Chain A
Amino acid sequence: QVQLQESGPGLVKPSQTLSLTCTVSGGSISSSDYYWSWIRQPAGKGLEWIGRIFPGGSTNYNPSLKSRLTISQEKSTNQFSLKLTSVTAADTAVYYCARGVGGGAVDSWGQGTLVRVSS
């Protein structure tokens, strides 16, 4: 059973860079059967897809975040990461990492980590 765990600072100052890492256990991020996503949820609001990375390194980003976003992977440690630059209070949210199957459904989610953007 795959497990995903987000980690990173819970507090980021405005205009700085938000950096999160997702550690995957029970499965390999190198498997061609899956892709790896980031999704966020502001408090009391719905879910917003941030982007994804495939094992070969190709990525898809939400156009609303693309200019500030980088998703990368580190196969040696079975982790993938999110970097979001120039953050504002609007980026305050619970951030989830998740696994997607082939080109389709997200079938496993991390527990989520709250990131607050505040001075």
Chain B
Amino acid sequence: DIVLTQSPLSLPVTPGEPASISCRSSQSLLRSNGYNYLDWHLQKPGQSPQLLIYLGSIRASGVPDRFRGSGSGTNFTLQISRVEAEDVGLYYCMQTLQTPHTFGQGTKLMIK
């Protein structure tokens, strides 16, 4: 199975400040079509997860442009340019390159 390792696991952030989450994969997630099969999901408190970023860097519909996904191969980053109170929750990276699909452990973003 592909193992995804996220860091940090806990991320306190002051509103208006930037935040960054890393996701490292045990295998390259780059397919021959040029796409990285790495997605980011946010699980807000008491809710089901929601897709933020897919194929490494493409924002899902309705996702604010303060969210940015980057990286390729085995190293990926989710950046939030200016954190807002509504961004609190658990952030998960997920690979869909091969089955079983796997998730990172989750990063809990909280407001200072």
Q: Taking A104-B96, A106-B94 as contacts, is the C-beta distance between A49 and B54 under 8 angstroms? A: no
Is B32 positioned at the interface, with any CB of A under 8 Å from its CB?
A: no
Question: Do B100 and A105 have beta carbons less than 8 Å apart?
Answer: no
Residue contact B55 to A49, C-beta cutoff 8 Å: no
For chain A, what secondary structure do more than half of its interface residues adopt (helix, strand, loop), or is it mixed? strand
Given contacts A100-B96, A105-B55, contact A110 B103 (CB under 8 A): no
Give A56-80 interface residues, CB cut-off 8 Å to B.
60-64
Q: Is the interface of B mostly helix, strand, loop or mixed?
A: loop
Question: Contacts A47-B49, A112-B48 given: A106-B41 contact, CB under 8 Å?
Answer: yes
| B90-107 contact mask (Cβ, 8 Å, vs A): 1 or 0 | 001010100111111110
By size class, the interface of chain A is 20 to 34
Say which residue of B37, B60, B99, B104 sits within 8 Å of A60 (CB atoms): B99
**Cβ-based interface call for B81 (8 A):** no
User: Number of B interface residues, CB 8 Å?
Assistant: 23
Q: Check if A105 sits within 8 Å of B48, measured CB to CB.
A: no
Beta-carbon contact of A105 and B96 below 8 Å = yes
- Contact call A105/B54, Cβ cutoff below 8 A: yes
Q: How far is the CA of A106 from the CA of B37 in the complex (A)?
A: 11
- B16: shortest Cβ distance to chain A, in Å? 29
Q: Tell me the bound Cα distance from A110 to B47 in angstroms.
A: 10
State in angstroms the CA–CA spacing of A37 and B41 once bound together: 15
Determine whether the beta carbon of B100 is less than 8 Å from that of A107: no
Q: Across the interface, do B103 and A106 meet the contact criterion of CB distance under 8 Å?
A: no
Complex contact A105–B92 (CB within 8 A): no
Kindly state the separation between the CA atoms of A52 and B100 in the bound complex, as whole angstroms. Answer: 10
Known: A49-B103, A112-B48. 8 other contacts (CB 8 A): A49-B99, A60-B100, A96-B49, A104-B35, A105-B51, A105-B96, A106-B96, A111-B48
